[in-house]
């Protein structure tokens, strides 16, 4: 009979042995956080009245490849548990239960009124709202003999969770290592949290509020030897992230934010006399909503940026940014798009595309259809953005930092470099939006092997 040994790694064991009412584990990607969450309920699987709920913000995050559900499928059947897909619940032979649930919206909290949950766990606590965390803490109660407690994992992100863990985080944004795992006592009076190193002063001051303990155990991929051995490429992936994401997910910095020179840095871009012929070319338009006027003295720009991808490198061929009325913008849209199409064709590009961002709403769909008709004969279409601007810029930022993006020499170079370096601190982001749009459009369409339509 095969013997399967399940043994937590050192940082996981500190987390699993914590006596805190609330223990939070993480601060970096790849630290073995999810597996630690799944191990925690196993302490109580012989208690027929025990129940735990593990939350993710959305249901797809639970069911995604190698997510919570997949990991539990490898672990819980070893202990005789059976899974009910309809209830998203594991039931152990004693009757003990572990359920998965999501809290996508704050209105979802109403479904948990009256609930009594001995163990509440949050996977990626930073993705939940402060209200969701504190409300669910009120559902953390038990009559099964297990003292109610909370366990959570996290990645670094500025916000309410970073504020909650402030004592464990240094001024530089990195965890204070000699404070990791140390307990602190607190009471929450209204919206205010009072902290203490022991409960005595809190009991005296807040006799009607029982103090609770909280701790933070920092961990990173370097604490997960099993992952490092099995998938050494994952460390390379983390090192290849854009600067802000790398400092957060690899190095565990809680205070780093996108700022000038961190999303894009002018030193990352080389300038070349000409771009290689061939490849695939895209011009992306970011349309301004209003033109300059007395009422709007500093409106957004209409920006058009043209990218070419040749092999594993990208070249910025041209950048135009201007403030004009609707008729002038439309003429520029048609003329510049067709000019770039002729240039791409003459320089041997196998593909040329015109793209722009489509805003929500039926009116925007009708406008997109009209613009497509203006460019009859070209591969022209609107694209719907799926995330915030900085998130959309991550792939381009990573390639830029790796030195894989060059500018073709032109009078627009300095404006483009100043604009990109200053993001997101500058008042306008039109050139960045058009640049990121062209970069992402090329990657997306090249992956689907579309052919030339020019």
Q: What is the pLDDT of residue 252?
A: 81
Per-residue pLDDT of the chain (454 residues; tens, 9 = 90+): 455 667 778 888 999 999 999 999 987 777 788 899 999 999 999 999 999 999 999 999 999 888 899 999 999 999 999 999 999 999 999 999 999 999 998 899 999 998 999 999 999 999 999 999 999 999 999 999 999 999 999 989 888 999 999 999 988 888 888 999 999 999 998 888 999 999 998 998 888 899 999 999 998 877 776 666 777 777 777 777 777 777 777 778 887 776 677 889 888 999 999 999 999 999 999 988 655 443 445 567 899 999 999 988 999 999 999 888 888 999 999 999 999 999 999 999 999 999 998 876 677 788 889 999 999 999 999 988 776 788 888 889 989 988 999 999 999 998 899 899 888 888 888 999 999 999 999 988 655 444 444 4
Distance CA 5, CA 361 (A): 55
Q: Which two tokens stand for residue 120?
A: 């509440």
Distance CA 300, CA 291 (A): 8
For residue 349, give its domain range.
266-447
Question: Which H or E element spans position 218?
Answer: strand 212-218
> Do 93 and 19 reside in the same domain of the chain?
yes
Distance CA 220, CA 234 (A): 12
Does residue 20 belong to any structural domain of this protein?
yes
Chain-centre distance for alpha carbon 272: 34
Distance CA 190, CA 12 (A): 33
Distance CA 93, CA 78 (A): 11
> Do 195 and 271 reside in the same domain of the chain?
no
CA angle 425, 337, 383 (to 5 degrees): 60
What is the number of structural domains in the chain? 2
> Do 278 and 397 reside in the same domain of the chain?
yes
> Do 285 and 205 reside in the same domain of the chain?
no
Strands 313-322 and 302-310: antiparallel
Q: What is the pLDDT of residue 387?
A: 66
pTM as predicted:
0.64
Task: Tell me if the bond preceding 441 is cis, omega within 30° of 0.
Answer: no
Cα distances (angstroms) measured from residue 412 to each of 291, 305, 417: 21, 11, 9
Residue 345's SS3 state is: helix
> Do 170 and 302 reside in the same domain of the chain?
no
Does residue 389 belong to any structural domain of this protein?
yes
What spatial distance separates the first Cα and last Cα of the chain, rounded to whole Å?
65
Q: For the chain, how are helix, strand and coil distributed in percent, rounded to 5?
A: 40, 20, 40
Does residue 252 belong to any structural domain of this protein?
no
Does residue 333 belong to any structural domain of this protein?
yes
Q: On the CB side of 159, how many CA atoms lie within 13 Å of its CA?
A: 12
> Do 223 and 294 reside in the same domain of the chain?
no
> Do 135 and 38 reside in the same domain of the chain?
yes
> Do 54 and 199 reside in the same domain of the chain?
yes
> Do 217 and 356 reside in the same domain of the chain?
no
Looking at the DSSP assignment, which residues form a beta bridge with residue 316? 307, 407
> Do 281 and 208 reside in the same domain of the chain?
no
Kindly report the CATH number assigned to the domain that includes residue 196.
Answer: 3.40.50.300
Q: What is the pLDDT of residue 299?
A: 67
Judged on CB neighbours under 10 Å (0-12, 13-18, 19+), 279 is: buried
Q: Which among 249, 251, 12 is positioned nearest to 126, based on CA atoms? A: 249
Kindly report the CATH number assigned to the domain that includes residue 299.
Answer: 3.30.420.320
Q: Which two tokens stand for residue 124?
A: 């990626």
Q: What is the pLDDT of residue 446?
A: 55
234 touches 369 (CB < 8 A) = no
Within 261-352, residue ranges assigned H as helices are 326-346
Judged on CB neighbours under 10 Å (0-12, 13-18, 19+), 375 is: middle
User: Rg of the chain over CA atoms, in angstroms?
Assistant: 27
424 touches 392 (CB < 8 A) = no
Distance CA 421, CA 400 (A): 11
């Amino acid at each position: 009979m095969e013997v399967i040994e399940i043994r937590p790694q050192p940082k996981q064991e500190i987390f699993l042995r914590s006596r805190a009412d609330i223990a939070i584990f993480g601060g970096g990607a790849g630290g073995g956080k999810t597996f630690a969450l799944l191990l925690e309920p196993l302490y109580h699987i012989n208690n027929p009245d025990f129940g735990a709920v593990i939350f993710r913000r959305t249901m797809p995050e639970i069911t995604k490849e190698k997510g919570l559900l997949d990991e539990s499928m490898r672990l819980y059947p070893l202990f005789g548990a059976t899974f009910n897909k309809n209830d998203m619940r594991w039931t152990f032979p004693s009757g003990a239960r572990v359920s998965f649930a999501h809290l996508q919206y704050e209105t979802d909290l109403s479904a948990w009124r009256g609930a009594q949950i001995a163990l509440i766990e949050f996977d990626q606590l930073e993705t939940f709202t402060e209200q969701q965390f504190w409300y669910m803490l009120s559902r953390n109660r038990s009559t099964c003999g297990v003292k109610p407690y909370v366990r959570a994992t996290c990645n670094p992100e500025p916000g309410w969770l970073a504020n909650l863990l402030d004592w464990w985080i240094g001024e530089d944004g990195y965890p204070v290592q000699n404070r990791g795992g140390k307990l602190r006592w607190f009471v929450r009076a209204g919206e205010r949290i009072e902290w203490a190193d022991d409960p005595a002063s809190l009991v005296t001051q807040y006799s009607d509020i029982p103090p609770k303990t909280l701790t933070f155990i920092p961990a990173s991929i370097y604490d997960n030897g099993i992952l490092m051995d099995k998938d050494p490429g994952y460390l390379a992936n983390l090192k290849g992230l854009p600067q802000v994401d790398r400092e957060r997910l690899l190095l565990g910095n809680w205070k780093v934010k996108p700022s000038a020179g961190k999303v894009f840095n002018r030193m990352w871009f080389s300038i070349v006399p000409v771009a290689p012929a061939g490849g695939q070319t895209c011009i992306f338009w970011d349309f301004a909503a209003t033109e300059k006027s007395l009422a709007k003295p500093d409106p957004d720009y209409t920006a058009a940026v043209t990218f070419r991808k040749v092999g594993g490198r990208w070249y910025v061929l041209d950048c135009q940014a201007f403030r004009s009325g609707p008729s002038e913008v439309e003429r520029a849209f048609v003329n510049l798009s067709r000019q770039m199409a002729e240039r791409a064709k003459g320089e041997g590009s196998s593909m040329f595309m015109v793209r722009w961002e489509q805003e929500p709403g039926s009116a925007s769909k009708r406008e997109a259809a009209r613009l497509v008709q203006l460019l009859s004969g070209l591969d022209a279409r609107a694209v719907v953005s799926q995330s915030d601007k900085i998130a959309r810029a991550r792939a381009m930022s990573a390639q830029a930092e790796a030195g894989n993006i060059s500018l073709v020499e032109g009078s627009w170079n300095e404006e483009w470099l100043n604009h990109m370096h200053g993001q997101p601190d500058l008042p306008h982001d039109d050139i960045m939006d058009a640049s990121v749009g062209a970069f992402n459009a090329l990657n997306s369409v090249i992956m689907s092997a579309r052919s030339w339509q020019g």
